Structure 1
């Protein structure tokens, strides 16, 4: 294993980088060398690089290194990214092979299916690291596989629901949003089709899943023509992950001043841009709950100053709310004062909340978040999905009701807390020595020898 050199590539998004880096750490602990690469601009945005013997960093180009895109046409942007990315990734692999040890294996993440073609042309084996849920991947496979994929039919006549064996029916509103032809993000749909078709070119397609057997056993069974390997949850501790935003420094002291399991942690990730009206409704619901809350509102988001003013006006004496521009989510979720997480239900946030034993109020916006929210509420029972009005807004009364249901003394909240503790225990078991995910990773590496 000492001679094996893995190249791991990822888009420069918070939810892509951290699980990829956690996998890098685990590969290194198994005796491998790892180079982590993202785009030129993305590498420059990382605030601090985790340091580990055997880990190095590199970059490839997306064609827009200065961040300036000459067009708003998403199809042109993705096409250019594929063209330039393929060229510069090839050059990177050649350079690494000349300077250090030859790259023996490529692992790529979401929206980079062309990387597998580069690897194939260079006679390097590859694997797809799926950083969405297995249920979401199974839906992509259901849509796009070349044997009986339903995309062409669904594109002209979207389904009322999609049924995967062993799981509840997924209504159209539960599907990853970009699969719907009316979605503003439908331009990336061809890339997900390319993911499936690219894997099918491989005689033994390998997909590494950021999940664990017990959590998604049924979803794993629905994809029977690919080698699916569960290696999750890939959750870096607060000392090893990296940030694309500057962390605040005052939130831990504030959390430590609050009673056990009393704080509502609110975060909608690094990409959701919330409507001002939605922000106001959530804020009023939190204030009216009377419970302390820590809310991450990025400094670039509209409404941040107004939200801070409202907190001061409504709850100055009690110090009920604290707004920060960014924080270590794992650190916050593992703090004993946190009792609930209001989340967009990105896959990282879903896993991190579960692994910390924190129940959630799900407020999905787009992408796979809608699918994850369905699983949280109906399959795992680790939270509640907040209902929206006819404008798609979670109203303040609904937010207050959901928080009270989870954090209050009622039977539903107790059931959810029991469920999340059970899944927390199973996640820990999967990730420890001898656990299913550790054993799967070990077997994956043994097959490469």
Structure 2
């Protein structure tokens, strides 16, 4: 029997690939066939790290197309990567779809594009394929993008997206205040990179979202009621990891070190500080040392993810005698199975960069946060955590821009002794986990989306039969 075929394509970054991979698993578990399209560079990393992942459906195939950059190019240069992708990937995606569509029983019925891959909308329109977009960040971030004209009219930004008024704003009275200087395109990198991001990703993302039949989001109505009320076209289907039976994620760029789970088994309940800053955050040596010494000062056991091989080729040096002093009280890994770590009863809190995936995973497991945002939407996610949901506290930098060892020790002690924050985290966990239960809103939205995809495929078949 022919299966409805959906093509998914994420922006080539860890925080985009992983959640869209979870969308893919949701779709295949509901009888849809998925072709998941990464860039060649990302595909190699994902396939290598996926070798031990179980539960990937035979209904999903992973393929790749070139991103327009040379093998030796630095893909952490987001401006260069974005421009290269924009120039080559539309052509290659169209070629891929034409090749797939040569088989009548394989034809693509729908494309689900990352909302930061808005150029896909033009390919879909040209080929007559229905389009949905997926928002891997908070719905509020997408709401900002959808409000570009209002921001221009209100003279918050100019036509180039440059901030001309840095006073805090509200998109609606039901949404939190936002600092325009922390809009997602305004704090990616230098001014040139920010401009490229605005021109190629934000503008196209807005057009794609407006053209799409559906926008699905890894969020819930409890977390962002104002954003979903303002733009009801956005459908919350999260938290995504709660919708699948397996807790082991797919789509990682690095191999997970599962020895940390055994180490966690030997730690007291609610004692461990989990420290992870995602796939992009980079510290200088001074900040790295302060973090290490701060963790040491807490006297708590800690699990610390220190990525190997950054784009700047920083080889971190631990403070003299640090490794010997902490002994087995600390565990350092290069990449962790984060969902399982956060679900472990030994974990007491999460020192996080506040990327949206990490935010959703922490919330879904009832773990309170110590917030340390690095760039882009992470600053606004901290606002949600500290000011709206109140399930975490922020780490503050000193006059030199460093989060000191004393600040880390103080805030850990403050968080772990604050029963109100811990209770808030558990209350929020219950609310979001209830959303994915059968007949509740996130689950119903997902089923609504799956039905729409299937109905579209039936419509295509009917049209072809009538020709």
Same fold (TM over 0.5): yes
Counterpart among 418, 440, 457 of residue 435 in structure 1: 440
Q: Do 2:166 and 2:181's aligned partners in 1 also have CA atoms closer than 8 Å? A: no
Q: Does 1:84 align with 2:91?
A: no
Number of the residue aligned with 2:25: 25
Aligned-partner Cα distance in 2 for 1:181–1:52 = 38
Do the aligned partners of residues 446 and 152 (structure 1) sit closer, same or farther apart at CA in structure 2, a change above 3 Å counting?
same
Aligned-partner Cα distance in 2 for 1:66–1:249 = 30
Do the aligned partners of residues 271 and 113 (structure 1) sit closer, same or farther apart at CA in structure 2, a change above 3 Å counting?
same
Number of the residue aligned with 2:35: 35
Q: Do 1:135 and 1:216's aligned partners in 2 also have CA atoms closer than 8 Å? A: yes
Relative to structure 2, which stretch is displaced further, 135-144 or 325-334? 135-144
Q: Does 1:12 align with 2:16?
A: no
Counterpart among 127, 138, 143 of residue 138 in structure 1: 143
Number of the residue aligned with 2:204: 194
Counterpart among 302, 305, 308 of residue 299 in structure 1: 308
Q: Does 1:400 align with 2:409?
A: yes
Equivalent residues in 2 for 1:240-259, closer than 5 Å: 240-259=249-268
Equivalent residues in 2 for 1:89-104, closer than 5 Å: 89-99=93-103, 101-104=106-109
How far is the alpha carbon of 1:74 from its aligned partner?
6.0
Relative to structure 2, which stretch is displaced further, 169-178 or 37-46? 169-178
Q: Do 1:107 and 1:127's aligned partners in 2 also have CA atoms closer than 8 Å? A: yes
Q: Do 1:179 and 1:189's aligned partners in 2 also have CA atoms closer than 8 Å? A: no
Counterpart among 323, 335, 338 of residue 344 in structure 2: 335
Question: SS of the counterpart of 1:307?
Answer: coil
Question: SS of the counterpart of 2:158?
Answer: helix
Do the aligned partners of residues 76 and 182 (structure 1) sit closer, same or farther apart at CA in structure 2, a change above 3 Å counting?
closer
Do the aligned partners of residues 250 and 74 (structure 1) sit closer, same or farther apart at CA in structure 2, a change above 3 Å counting?
closer
Aligned-partner Cα distance in 1 for 2:398–2:429 = 32
Number of the residue aligned with 1:160: 167
Deviations 1:69-91 (A, max 9, x none): 6x998655433311210011001
Calculate the TM-score normalised by the size of structure 2: 0.87
Question: SS of the counterpart of 1:443?
Answer: helix
Counterpart among 281, 285, 289 of residue 294 in structure 2: 285
How far is the alpha carbon of 1:219 from its aligned partner?
1.7
Aligned-partner Cα distance in 2 for 1:144–1:25 = 35
Relative to structure 2, which stretch is displaced further, 12-21 or 413-422? 12-21
How far is the alpha carbon of 1:142 from its aligned partner?
2.4
Q: Do 2:8 and 2:35's aligned partners in 1 also have CA atoms closer than 8 Å? A: yes
Deviations 1:138-178 (A, max 9, x none): 12222356994753176251322121321332234554363
Provide the alpha-carbon RMSD of the alignment. Answer: 2.6
Aligned-partner Cα distance in 2 for 1:284–1:240 = 31
Equivalent residues in 2 for 1:54-93, closer than 5 Å: 54-64=59-69, 66-68=71-73, 77-93=81-97
Q: Do 1:144 and 1:196's aligned partners in 2 also have CA atoms closer than 8 Å? A: no
Question: SS of the counterpart of 1:112?
Answer: coil
How far is the alpha carbon of 1:55 from its aligned partner?
0.9
Tell me how many residue pairs correspond in the alignment.
438
Counterpart among 50, 64, 79 of residue 48 in structure 1: 50
Structure 1 unmatched runs, 5+: none
Do the aligned partners of residues 332 and 74 (structure 1) sit closer, same or farther apart at CA in structure 2, a change above 3 Å counting?
closer
Aligned-partner Cα distance in 1 for 2:409–2:279 = 24
Number of the residue aligned with 1:361: 370
Deviations 1:183-224 (A, max 9, x none): 574131222122113333x2x642111101111111212236
Aligned-partner Cα distance in 2 for 1:127–1:67 = 33
Do the aligned partners of residues 303 and 94 (structure 1) sit closer, same or farther apart at CA in structure 2, a change above 3 Å counting?
closer
Q: Do 1:246 and 1:326's aligned partners in 2 also have CA atoms closer than 8 Å? A: yes
Do the aligned partners of residues 183 and 447 (structure 1) sit closer, same or farther apart at CA in structure 2, a change above 3 Å counting?
same
Q: Do 1:362 and 1:384's aligned partners in 2 also have CA atoms closer than 8 Å? A: yes
Aligned-partner Cα distance in 2 for 1:351–1:295 = 19
Deviations 1:111-161 (A, max 9, x none): 311111101110001111000001111122223569947531762513221
Calculate the TM-score normalised by the size of structure 1: 0.90
Number of the residue aligned with 1:444: 449
Do the aligned partners of residues 82 and 145 (structure 1) sit closer, same or farther apart at CA in structure 2, a change above 3 Å counting?
farther
Q: Do 1:12 and 1:43's aligned partners in 2 also have CA atoms closer than 8 Å? A: no
Equivalent residues in 2 for 1:177-216, closer than 5 Å: 178=186, 185-186=193-194, 187-190=196-199, 191-200=201-210, 202=211, 205-216=213-224
Do the aligned partners of residues 26 and 308 (structure 1) sit closer, same or farther apart at CA in structure 2, a change above 3 Å counting?
farther
Do the aligned partners of residues 92 and 346 (structure 1) sit closer, same or farther apart at CA in structure 2, a change above 3 Å counting?
same
